[in-house]
Structure 1
Amino acid sequence: MKINFPKIFRRLLRVIVVLAILHVLVLVFLYFKQERFFFNPKTLDKTYVFDFKEPFEELNIEVDDNVFLNALLFKAEASKGVIVYYHGNAGAIHDWGKRAPLYLENNYDILFVDYRGYGKSDGKYSNSKQLLNDAQKVYDFAKTRYSEQNIITLGFSLGSGLATYVASKNNPKMLIINAPYYSWKTLISEQIAPPIPEFIVKYDIPTYKFIKEVKCPIKIFHGSRDFLVHIDENSKKLQAIAPENIDLTIITDAGHNGIHITKQYYDALKALL
């Protein structure tokens, strides 16, 4: 049997070319539509009525001309201050607000805010600068209600970079970050979606840069079984930047979304707050 090697090579070359073109097209699509993959908002009708047992105030915080972020401010009975909570990349505050009792029981009010395109908030994002600017505007609002010495910034997952950014630009009482990432670009390109080169990720939230500028005490919580945001490449690297000011607690057997339901986290918060 005679094998036609030139013909086989031509076919192989065509397959490689087609795959390369498809790869480029996917990358182009991801660049322009990455919000669809990296953000998973739950939208709520503007008439949606929140229902919680705990007392709260619904707010709309203006962050840009005619752009308002919907927020819920839960009130503790004997408040020592407020926790400004920057939530993760999914859902909306009708769900995130269910975590309020954790902090109210420690005598802190807590402010949950939905990002643009989430819940009842206006607009949508096209770059990380908007995210960071909005995070600062939310903090500015908190300062109209509370003395800065009584404000704690707290961020979970996506929100950890935002909370760290805000803490680096201001003087809160404390920064708490749960399941934080070292850098959003690195997280996406090296851990969540390795085939995606870093230059495709247009959202640049370098937590490791921000954390160097934070002057207040920093507390990190990370689950030992977090397979989405790996603790070694993220929290441990962040702690190594300023070990004298950053305390890391590893929540045993907790996954990415399970930190807040553990007794270890409950007890640690009680001691911390």
Structure 2
Amino acid sequence: MKKLYKIFLPILIVIPVFYITAFYFFQEKLIFKAVKLQHEHVYNYNVPFKELFLTPEPGVEINALHFQAKDPKGMVVYYHGQGGNLANRWDKVSRKFTDAGYDFFIMDYRTFGKSTGVLSEKALLDDASYIYKYCMQFFEEKDLIVYGCSLGTGIASFIGATYQPKKVILESPYFSMVQLAQHTASYLPKAVIPLILKYHLRSDLWIEQISSSLLILHGTADKTIPYHMGKKLYEKSSQLPGNVVLTTLEAADHDEIASHPHTLQSLETHLLD
């Protein structure tokens, strides 16, 4: 028995240490599914748009696209999810907003597409602030709508808490990146996650500081970010001074939310008022 104990005890110690170490060093690859683009890549969208390269700090370039509405009444500042880049279907997404009279502005995070620089939580939030303030050159803040999708909902929550846009829209939000990591990396002890996670993205704290109108869109069949996380954010924000709405999309999975009829109806209502 003692021999078995001596054999298995090191194994029981080594395996958790291995998983914890692997998660710590490879977490960016788990959280971000960045796809690079050549700097010379030409975006092929059959709608009016401009490509920009912005420099939030020396040595860093943020690639962005500005889709233009006819006679715009404001702008949607959009923070996208964990994958892809600006070459992915953004003409179709932008039309939902440009058809409603809003310009549409989207950036690629560092290491995504043509954007350069080193990723960190601070860099994400600093770049998001830089982009938001850049957009304030075109429209007054009361005419800006902040939209976050999936990973971008934490960033959008931070912007909504830091500034005073007209509205904040969160599509498939997580309560915090800590809780989402505890859910997805269930092979790790929950208590360890906050200690090794580099990206906490505390939507649960920022949501309490948002004074703008808030719309949360979430599907009950979301397997990527569980519906209960969006509902918890709604419950935490229901006492905020602005108008707060939760649109529950029955049986909708993560990738079905954007095209869901109730999403389009809800967006139309919030973009027109």
Indicate if the aligned counterparts of 2:51 and 2:66 stay in contact, CA closer than 8 A.
yes
Write the mapping of 1:58-77 to structure 2, written as runs, cut at 5 A: 58-77=51-70
Q: Which residue of 2 aligns with 1:231?
A: 227
Query: In 1, Cα distance between the equivalents of 2:163 and 2:184?
Result: 31
Q: Which residue of 1 aligns with 2:256?
A: 258
Query: In 1, Cα distance between the equivalents of 2:5 and 2:93?
Result: 55
Aligned to 1:106, which of 59, 75, 100? 100
Query: In 1, Cα distance between the equivalents of 2:114 and 2:89?
Result: 14
Q: Which residue of 2 aligns with 1:268?
A: 266
Q: Which residue of 1 aligns with 2:207?
A: 211
Quick check: 1:195 aligned with 2:190?
A: no
Shift of 1:164: 0.8
Quick check: 1:11 aligned with 2:1?
A: no
Write the mapping of 1:175-194 to structure 2, written as runs, cut at 5 A: 175-189=168-182, 191-194=183-186
Quick check: 1:30 aligned with 2:26?
A: no
CA deviation digits over 1:95-143, x for unaligned, max 9? 1514111111211111111000000001131x31111111111101111
CA deviation digits over 1:191-210, x for unaligned, max 9? 11112332221111100100
Runs of at least 4 residues off by over 3 Å: none
Aligned to 2:146, which of 126, 148, 153? 153
Letter in 2 for 1:88: G
When the two structures are superposed, what TM-score results if normalisation uses the length of structure 1? 0.92
Q: Which residue of 1 aligns with 2:43?
A: 50
Q: Which residue of 1 aligns with 2:114?
A: 120
Indicate if the aligned counterparts of 1:223 and 1:252 stay in contact, CA closer than 8 A.
yes
Residues 62, 253 of structure 1: alpha-carbon distance in 2 compared, 3 angstrom cutoff = same
Indicate if the aligned counterparts of 2:59 and 2:117 stay in contact, CA closer than 8 A.
no
Query: In 1, Cα distance between the equivalents of 2:96 and 2:6?
Result: 59
- Flag the structure with larger Rg: 1
Shift of 1:76: 0.9
Shift of 1:12: 4.6
Local SS of the residue matching 2:142: helix
Identity %: 30
Q: Structure 1 unaligned runs (5+)?
A: 1-5
Indicate if the aligned counterparts of 2:220 and 2:248 stay in contact, CA closer than 8 A.
yes
Residues 96, 41 of structure 1: alpha-carbon distance in 2 compared, 3 angstrom cutoff = farther
Query: In 1, Cα distance between the equivalents of 2:270 and 2:98?
Result: 13
Q: Which residue of 1 aligns with 2:78?
A: 85
Local SS of the residue matching 1:115: coil
Q: Structure 2 unaligned runs (5+)?
A: none
Shift of 1:218: 0.6
Query: In 2, Cα distance between the equivalents of 1:206 and 1:133?
Result: 15
Letter in 2 for 1:207: S
**What root-mean-square deviation, in Å, do the aligned CA atoms of Structure 1 and Structure 2 show?**
1.4
CA deviation digits over 1:69-102, x for unaligned, max 9? 1000100113111000000011111115141111
CA deviation digits over 1:43-81, x for unaligned, max 9? 100000001111100011212112111000100113111
Q: How many residues align?
A: 263
CA deviation digits over 1:244-264, x for unaligned, max 9? 442100112211121111111
Letter in 2 for 1:257: D
Indicate if the aligned counterparts of 1:85 and 1:153 stay in contact, CA closer than 8 A.
yes
Local SS of the residue matching 2:61: strand
When the two structures are superposed, what TM-score results if normalisation uses the length of structure 2? 0.92
